[in-house]
Amino acid sequence: MVLHMQTIDNFNFSGKKALIRVDFNVPLDASFSITDDTRIRAALPSINKLLADGAAVILMSHLGRPKEGPSEKYSLKHLVPHLSALLGRPVLFADDCIGDSAKKMSAGLKAGEVLLLENLRFYKEEEKGDEGFAKKLAELALGNNPSQGFNSSQGFYINDAFGTAHRAHASTAVIAKFFPGKKCFGYLMSSELSNADKVLHKAERPFTAILGGAKVSDKILILEQLIGKADNIIIGGGMAFTFIKAKGGKIGSSLVESDRLDTALKILEDAKKRGVSIYLPVDVEAADRFANDANKKCCAIDAIPEGWMGLDIGPVSEKINEGVILKSKTVLWNGPLGVFEMSNFESGTKSAALAIAKATKSGTYTLIGGGDSVAAINKYNLAGQVSYVSTGGGALLEYIESGTLPGVEAINS
Ligand code: AMP
């Protein structure tokens, strides 16, 4: 739990050299144009605050998962023109995140200037959390030559990369130790954490968690955590069938994790013991193959004929979910309730999204997190009608599961 967050608002960065870890891991098309700049935009408030204070700003990020060293495909240089336009000033680029170009350019960086470093993951040391590599990055802000205008008392480290805060990488966690008393969260990190804390520690009741997506195995830890916190848990998506099968239902050829049947039963028992209501779907839209134009029939969730697979929850389940959502004061949603990418099997996900938006209007706090539920809320143009849409799926889940993250600990310690 983040009680007293050191945020970017606690400092004035005038004359400081600010090294900020951002998450610029944006999708690029074949000609290296950015197809979705959400992550860049999410970091702008922090960067603009640093610039408004009069800092020299060094930006560092990863892009994609480069396998072996530098490559054109994963170069952050492709982001420079768009970032320059968004910031309204030219962004300088160092074609290596450590080494001579980075050192020289950051040493000469003046107040109001912005330098973007090349992809951190071009060095395997980044993901290994290598301390020597972290120190080299830190020196870009701390400097090792005070006569160059900035010195160690002027270097700051800011973490605004929530999407990678669950990784103990060199730039997200290890580096923080070189900035005692001069490290903090950026705006994105602090709002992500305070929104997650709202459901984790300050949830108004009834608190309903909606969990969907493909696999139970991905969601066991979060389910265990939520059983200690939520009043209601709505389960949908592919993961529901493991529960239904565990209870003895017939699920046809629906998605199932047969090695998790005992886990599913244990989760149901624990929830019962603790007075948490679990809502499994009661009906299902089944298909005779995994395709949008498959033959479709609605049946009881525990009586799916052989050769048919459940791809969406049915209308009765939709109504039940809607009722639970509208009676809640706090809602956390992670994972679609069906194969929402296919228009014939999106109804359960869409109706939940609409109910969440409706509940928000009447004062319910609603947090959407996790890649596919965010994609769903965007698909239905409802992102502006919920309380908060998290930018970091994996990080949010891990924060809820464990109550902290390596990137958070590093700033707080
Ligand atoms: P996850 O990444 O675990 O949140 O899973 C998201 C994916 O689960 C989406 O691509 C959905 O299409 C898929 N999904 C949801 N419901 C089902 C289902 N009933 N059968 C198969 N896949 C599903």
Q: How would DSSP label each residue in 200-240?
A: HHSPPSSEEEEE-SS-STTTHHHHHHHHTT-SEEEE-STTH
- Give the pLDDT confidence score for residue 148 in this predicted structure: 46
Q: Structure tokens of 367?
A: 């947090």
**Residue length of the chain:** 413
- Which atom of ligand 1 lies at the shortest distance from residue 240's CA? 19
Q: At the topology level of CATH, where does 8-189 sit?
A: Rossmann fold (3.40.50)
Q: Is 392 an active-site residue?
A: no
Predicted confidence at residue 392, as pLDDT, reads 85
- What pLDDT was estimated at residue 149? 44
Per-residue model confidence (pLDDT) at position 221: 87
Q: Pinpoint the residues of the chain covered by CATH 3.40.50.1260.
A: 8-189, 203-401
254 Cα nearest atom in ligand 1: 20
Confidence at residue 151, expressed as pLDDT on a 0 to 100 scale: 52
- Nearest Cα residue to atom 20 of ligand 1: 238
Q: No. of H helices and E strands in the chain?
A: 14, 17
Q: β-strand 296-300 against 283-287: which pairing, if any? A: antiparallel
Query: Can you identify the CATH homologous superfamily of domain 203-401?
Result: Phosphoglycerate kinase, N-terminal domain (3.40.50.1260)
Q: Is residue 215 flagged as an active site residue?
A: yes
Calculate how far, in angstroms, residue 306's C-alpha sits from the geometric centre of ligand 1: 20
pLDDT at position 146: 47
Pocket mutation for ligand 1, best pick of 312, 339, 345, 379 (most atoms within 8 Å of C-beta): 339
pLDDT at 413: 87
CA of 312 to the centre of ligand 1 (A): 9
54: left (phi over 0), alpha (psi -120 to 50) or beta: left
**Which of helix, strand or coil describes residue 311?**
strand
* Residue 243, H or E segment: helix 240-246
Mean pLDDT by 10 residues, the chain (413 residues): 78 96 95 93 97 98 93 97 98 96 95 98 97 96 62 85 95 96 96 94 96 90 92 97 98 96 96 97 98 98 98 98 98 96 98 98 95 89 96 89 93 92
C-alpha of residue 46 to centroid of ligand 1, in Å: 34
91-106 burial: b if 16+ Cβ within 10 Å, else e: bbbbebbbeeebbebb
* 389 CA from centroid of ligand 1 (Å): 19
Q: Ligand 1: list residues with CB < 6 Å.
A: 213-215, 218, 237-238, 255, 310-311, 335-336, 338-339, 341, 370, 372
237 among known catalytic residues: no
